[in-house]
Structure 1
Amino acid sequence: MFFPLIDLDKQEKSLTQVEQVINRLRADIISGRLLPAAKLSITTLAEESGVSLGAVREALASLAAEDLVVAEPQRGYRVSPVSSQSLSDLAQARIEIESLCLTEAIKHGDLQWESACIAALDQLRKVDSVVVGDCHELADAKSRAHAKFHYALASGCNNQWLLRMQRALYQQSERYRRLTVPLVGRGRDVDGEHKALLQAMLDRDPDRARKLLTQHLLTTARDLLTSPLLTQDMRSGGPT
């Protein structure tokens, strides 16, 4: 797997055609607009994006390296399928890697890092009141704000390989979460979980931060594994 250090703030106009296609397809896959195991037509994607066939092929090859699409010999590309085993493995890996990132961030994070973490949580809390649009636009805005919060917490880590792995694992986790977005979080105080995790980071308490992160991620994984929506997608997509 390739571990891209994704820049959520990079402006679309500064991207190459290939990068634009990568970002669009990545967003559509993670959001669930492109479902697991969906066939990806290079010709159709090129026409829709207004780019060359070569640009689409290069974009798909890059996304295959991120495990978001799979190449099938003589058959082209499909969106990567999902499975309960893959989700369980993903949750375990994310807990291990993100815990290391948070521990390093607590050691090395400065006042600017603390301010960025506080601002990211504040932005996440305000999404519902500041975003005007349909449910898809709101879900996309929440997803971006949620990613920025978790990225901000880890950003104090000075190990770029850990950060790359954390972001790659996060985007895979977000894909599962978005497939079941109407169900995940019911009966939970997710904002309270985020607030407690942030406070542990600001208190420079790595043991408490690791414990809270583990509880946060395991609860989400449990919700996902019991979701009938995700189970249906697993049956159609098969195991990874």
Structure 2
Amino acid sequence: MARSTYGTRADDTFATMRADILAGRLTPGEKLKFPELSTRYGVGVGVLREALTRLVEQDLVRSQPHQGFQVTPLSAEDLIELTTARVAIERLVFRMSLAEGDTPWESDLVAKHHTLERTPQYDRDDPERVGDAWSRAHADFHHALLAGCRNSRLLGIATSLRDSAELYRSWSQQHFRHPDRDVIAEHRELMELALARDADAAVEALARHISHTTDILLGTDHRQESMSAGNVGSGVSA
């Protein structure tokens, strides 16, 4: 097989598996066995291993010695630690982004927000699930908020933490909708404060935005117990 063809199949498999994890078709804590995955995705072990390695890098999959791969489990303790780290790092990187971002950065931010606002949040064929296109647009917008920062090390840490939070965010959106939350307004506020270069207000708005998902997931004792016990998958349709 030519490298270009192999690479394309690995990219496609990675993208499909990632979407399946975030949509709950592969559930938190689920064991990922090569024979089953090969049948499901129609590719060999080499392609699967490359795709899984990339998913491990995004903390959507974990690799355990002598046990293989599994979808990353959810836990209340991990979510709290992750949120604390994200708020600390993204506040710093966002403030630097506002100080260092130029006109092309502003234009890109407006464009990314426009795409996000015009993309339906839920899947047309399965209204209970967040659409893949919206998930991509959402990630692109949040990356654009921070992209003005010229410190690649800090930006890389922020991106890694956002990747780690993706599974929690997706699960929250799909299983604990809050009618009182106006996500569209939150994103618009972030864009407007960024363009106004109102750093103090902008970083506080971002901190609230990040913490809101955690508040939703930890809003009841039942949800905390479910995550701590590793039983999240039982509430997710495959």
Q: Normalized against structure 1, the TM-score is what?
A: 0.81
User: Whole-Å Cα distance in 2 between the matches of residues 149 and 230 of structure 1?
Assistant: 29
User: Whole-Å Cα distance in 1 between the matches of residues 59 and 74 of structure 2?
Assistant: 11
State whether structure 2 residue 170 is matched by structure 1 residue 188. Answer: no
* 2:235 equivalent in structure 1: none
* 1:4 equivalent in structure 2: none
Query: Per-residue deviation at 1:87?
Result: 0.6
* Root-mean-square deviation (Å): 2.7
The number of equivalent residue pairs is 226
User: Whole-Å Cα distance in 2 between the matches of residues 170 and 54 of structure 1?
Assistant: 28
1:108–1:136 CA distance, 2 compared to 1 (3 A): same
* 1:61 equivalent in structure 2: 53
Query: Which amino acid counterpart does residue 81 of structure 1 have in structure 2?
Result: P
User: Whole-Å Cα distance in 2 between the matches of residues 137 and 226 of structure 1?
Assistant: 21
SS of 1:70's equivalent?
Answer: strand
Aligned residues with identical type, % of pairs: 35
State whether structure 2 residue 89 is matched by structure 1 residue 94. Answer: no
User: Whole-Å Cα distance in 1 between the matches of residues 216 and 62 of structure 2?
Assistant: 27
1:78–1:14 CA distance, 2 compared to 1 (3 A): closer
* 1:49 equivalent in structure 2: 41
Aligned match for 1:216, one of 196, 204, 209: 209
SS of 1:32's equivalent?
Answer: coil
SS of 2:63's equivalent?
Answer: strand
User: Whole-Å Cα distance in 1 between the matches of residues 24 and 198 of structure 2?
Assistant: 36
State whether structure 2 residue 195 is matched by structure 1 residue 202. Answer: yes
User: Whole-Å Cα distance in 2 between the matches of residues 147 and 186 of structure 1?
Assistant: 22
Matches for 1:20-39 after TM superposition, within 5 Å? 20-39=12-31
User: Whole-Å Cα distance in 2 between the matches of residues 125 and 148 of structure 1?
Assistant: 12
* 1:75 equivalent in structure 2: 67
SS of 1:186's equivalent?
Answer: coil
Query: Which amino acid counterpart does residue 229 of structure 2 have in structure 1?
Result: R
Q: Normalized against structure 2, the TM-score is what?
A: 0.82
More moved, 180-189 vs 111-120: 180-189
User: Whole-Å Cα distance in 1 between the matches of residues 71 and 125 of structure 2?
Assistant: 27
- The question of whether the paired residues in 2 share the 8 Å contact of 1:30 and 1:172 is answered with no
- The question of whether the paired residues in 2 share the 8 Å contact of 1:102 and 1:157 is answered with yes
Query: Which amino acid counterpart does residue 114 of structure 2 have in structure 1?
Result: D
1:143–1:207 CA distance, 2 compared to 1 (3 A): same
- The question of whether the paired residues in 2 share the 8 Å contact of 1:70 and 1:77 is answered with yes
Query: Per-residue deviation at 1:117?
Result: 1.2
Query: Which amino acid counterpart does residue 236 of structure 1 have in structure 2?
Result: G
Query: Per-residue deviation at 1:100?
Result: 1.9
* 2:156 equivalent in structure 1: 164
SS of 1:236's equivalent?
Answer: coil
User: Whole-Å Cα distance in 1 between the matches of residues 122 and 28 of structure 2?
Assistant: 31
- The question of whether the paired residues in 1 share the 8 Å contact of 2:98 and 2:194 is answered with yes
- The question of whether the paired residues in 2 share the 8 Å contact of 1:81 and 1:234 is answered with no
